[in-house]
Amino acid sequence: MTTEPIATQGAATAGASNRSYREVTDARGRVYRIGETDRDILGHSRKFMVYLPWIAMMAISVFEYAYGSAEDTLSHAHGWTQSNTFWILSVWVFFQAGIAFPAGWLRERGILTARRAMYIGAVMCVIGFLALSHLSNVLLAILGFGVIGGLGSGLVYATCINMVGKWFPERRGARTGFVNGGFAYGSLPFIFIFNYAFDTGNYHRVLDLIGCYVMIVVLSCAFFFKDPPKNWWPADIDPLTYGGDSKTSAALAKNPPAVKQYTPKEAVRTGVLPLMWITLVMTAGVSIFGISFQVDFAKEVGFGPLVAASSMGIMAVINGIGRAVVGWLSDTWGRKLTLVFVIVVLGLAQFGVIWAGDIKSEWLFLFFAFLSGFGGGAFYPMFAALTPDYFGENYNATNYGLVYSGKLISGLFGGGLGSMVVAAWGYNGAYALAGGISMLAAAIALLLKQPGRDSDVRTPQPQPAS
């Protein structure tokens, strides 16, 4: 049995808008704050809340996706072993993923604003690069780049992703994928710099300049960051009938808004958030495994230097573009179906790599390696968009922080445990296991469903634009 929508008048919160708003309650009790446009709140179009996070994400992408290209020079300059450089990046991954939940907790309680989180992240990012540049002691480098740099880049990453979800509650897939893609292909110029203009004679200057660049870009973007008011909904889209722009209406029909604003405890109790966490752990682990052992497997098979080198520039571009493409696709197909598709592609790519190695086909190996790169990045924006789809926008920073924390475990078994499996079963056995884990993750993803959307309350059908 349903209730009639209720509308209440309200005055805009101080500093948010000079225009009054209405709070509309739908049949399930969810409140939508309507009447204020993005320009009323920001003074400009909310599109800036897509482009600015995208630019900041491109700036911090150098941490993860270009680091591998700098490892040899860093090893020679500081006297580090391959194991040393591996642990520096592993610690970075741990803290980059680990900060998402506590940062979200602080943001949802008003202790840490989006702008302040970006400011702190920018300063920590430059400290990370200065440590990588000037500290030869591996423990100090781990503390500087791995811990401080990881925390800083994680603050920026989580803030940028959550900003998009809050400002585009009606069609977040394409926007989230676009912003998330910057975290991959934004590293492209730095990959070339580290490969062709980075040596033991200039590494201080190059790393110092890159650190300053990251800080300046992030600080500049952060100055304009601002969250929308709680429960805000675009004024031109009816949240009860989905009337408005035809594409937006169709996207809402495929990805309806969360039935309520779930707190983190409530989200966990639904059982859906833990399922999302498990799926991300498994999928990200397969992705990290593929990235970590692709080059070594190519050498083991006996492929030429082009394949063995595995052009990270092309991989970064494919990884980033793939995130944007699936984000757009999810607005049409639906978020869950697109996520399952991406995970299946990732799994099939692992078996394809084995096949290419068995028949000694370099071009086939490249094809499946790039396909693995596509699937290995495209699932991240799907989880980022699914979280507010299922649990609402008001606690998205915390809820997504919980889901994204699965990357902590993924880095462990994708790299460390992956090397143990390779030693015990060989590359073919390890890749087969990775493919099997990916397929199991796809099966678990099929169990995901939006909490609270029962059949007794009909989902509104898209209405034509008035």
pLDDT of 384 reads: 93
Alpha carbon distance 148, 128 (integer Å): 6
Banded pLDDT at 460 (limits 50, 70, 90): low
On whether the pTM is more than 0.75, the answer is: yes
Q: Does residue 327 contact residue 385 with C-beta atoms inside 8 Å?
A: yes
Task: Return the DSSP state at 236.
Answer: T
Rounded percentage of the chain residues whose pLDDT exceeds 90: 52
What's the rounded Cα separation, in Å, for the pair 167 and 50? 9
Q: Is residue 454 very low, low, confident or very high in pLDDT (cuts 50, 70, 90)?
A: low
Q: What's at 244, amino acid-wise?
A: G
Which of 87-91, 441-445, 461-465 shows the highest mean pLDDT? 441-445
Tell me how far apart the alpha carbons of residues 176 and 166 are, in angstroms, rounded to a whole number: 10
Model confidence at 226, in pLDDT bands (50, 70, 90)?
A: very high
Angstrom distance (rounded) from CA 225 to CA 118: 9
Highest-scoring range by mean pLDDT, 62-76, 229-243, 266-280: 266-280
Structure tokens at 433: 């296991």
- What average pLDDT does this structure show over 319-342? 91
More confident residue, 287 or 17: 287
pLDDT for residue 222: 96
- Whole-angstrom CA distances from 158 to 40, 77, 102, 404, 417 are 26, 33, 11, 9, 27
Place of tokens 């952060």: 222
Per-residue three-class SS string for 123-148: HHHHHHHHHHHHCCCHHHHHHHHHHH
Q: For residues 47 and 43, give the distance between their C-alpha atoms in angstroms, rounded to a whole number.
A: 12
pLDDT attached to residue 312: 57
**Beta carbons within 8 Å of 259's beta carbon, 6+ residues apart:** 28, 30, 450, 451, 452, 453
Question: Which segment of 175-179, 243-247, 273-277, 316-320 scores lowest on mean pLDDT?
Answer: 243-247
Q: At 81, is the secondary structure helix, strand, or coil?
A: coil
pLDDT of residue 457: 46
Q: Is the pLDDT of residue 311 over 50?
A: no
Q: Indicate the pLDDT class of residue 251, thresholds 50, 70 and 90.
A: confident
- Cα–Cα distance, 105 to 269 (Å, whole number): 18
Structure tokens at 311: 């052009």
First to last CA, the chain: 29
Condensed to tens digits (0 to 9), the pLDDT of residues 3-16 reads 445 455 555 444 44
Asked whether the beta carbons of 112 and 397 are under 8 A apart, the reply is no
Both tokens of 175, joined, read: 């926007």
Q: Is 456 exposed, middle or buried (0-12, 13-18, 19+ CB in 10 A)?
A: exposed
Would strands 21-25 and 6-10 be described as parallel, antiparallel, or unpaired? Answer: antiparallel
Query: Residue length, the chain?
Result: 466
- pLDDT (mean) for 139-156: 96
pLDDT band at residue 373, thresholds of 50, 70 and 90?
A: confident
What DSSP string describes 188-255?
HHHHHHHHHS--TTTHHHHHHHHHHHHHHHHHHHHTT--PPPTTB--TTS-TTT--SSHHHHHHHHHS
Q: Tokens 């506590």 correspond to what residue?
A: 102
| 371 pLDDT tier (thresholds 50, 70, 90) | confident
| More confident site: 358 or 343 | 343
Q: Give the pLDDT confidence of 345-358 residue by residue, as tens digits.
A: 999 999 998 998 88
Q: What stretches of 297-443 adopt beta strand conformation (E)?
A: none
C-alpha gyration radius of the chain: 22
Q: Which residues pair with 8 in a beta bridge?
A: 23
Q: How far is CA 51 from CA 164, 178, 224, in A?
A: 10, 9, 11
Q: In this prediction, what percent of the chain has a pLDDT beyond 70?
A: 88
Structural domains for the chain: 6-36 (no CATH), 45-228 (1.20.1250.20), 259-451 (1.20.1250.20)
